[in-house]
Structure 1
């Protein structure tokens, strides 16, 4: 990672930590795609917090002079994406993050197909 990307990553992580994001994970995707070099995945406890986390990332990056290409998902707040070019930030509700499992998809490991379906741990918390 170059110095600019490291600075962007640190700003985004600090912005997430400021609003109490959970399970912040930074993934180096430079060897997996040419679209972006780094991905950050984080969890928020509510739709409001997910939106606030993503907004804080975008505001802090803009304040430091970095361009935000786009943001997606603010309407529902279940999964908000902040595209800053070489850095992409995903902020999700726990069930959404668990279901899509971006870490496995982009963490350098090939996803495995399970015809019986992936165990969804968030679903296991529902009382019978």
Structure 2
């Protein structure tokens, strides 16, 4: 659900990190970026709207008003939506470099349902 909402807003460099083997607080990190703060905010809003329609509300939302790095906490799934230069600076993929990952090509428009429903 959330991945398709991200794809609908044309997010860049979408990566799903499987952190469940080494993390006690989440199973997946979803990381993507937007070309502007407005796109970052639009991606975050689309995810929240899609999840709310399914009756799922975030445990927490951080950074939404600034649009530089928005974090959406859905318990087992944590979504990081970055403004492109901010993503380069923090480089979360490097910090979690030892975990399995799925990189979604930018031209992907929809992702078939994953086994865990992310």
Same fold (TM over 0.5): yes
Aligned match of 2:5: 15
Does the Cα contact within 8 Å between 1:29 and 1:107 map onto a contact in 2?
no
Task: Measure the CA separation in 2 of the matches of 1:45 and 1:94.
Answer: 6
Task: Measure the CA separation in 2 of the matches of 1:54 and 1:106.
Answer: 22
User: TM-score, with normalisation over the residues of structure 1?
Assistant: 0.74
Task: Measure the CA separation in 2 of the matches of 1:60 and 1:107.
Answer: 29
User: Relative to total residues, which structure has the larger strand share, 1 or 2?
Assistant: 2
Task: Measure the CA separation in 2 of the matches of 1:68 and 1:40.
Answer: 14
Aligned match of 1:61: 51
Q: Shift of residue 67 of structure 1?
A: 2.8
Q: Show structure 1 runs of 4+ deviating over 2 A.
A: none
Larger radius of gyration: 1
In structure 1, the gaps of 5 or more residues are: 1-10, 110-128
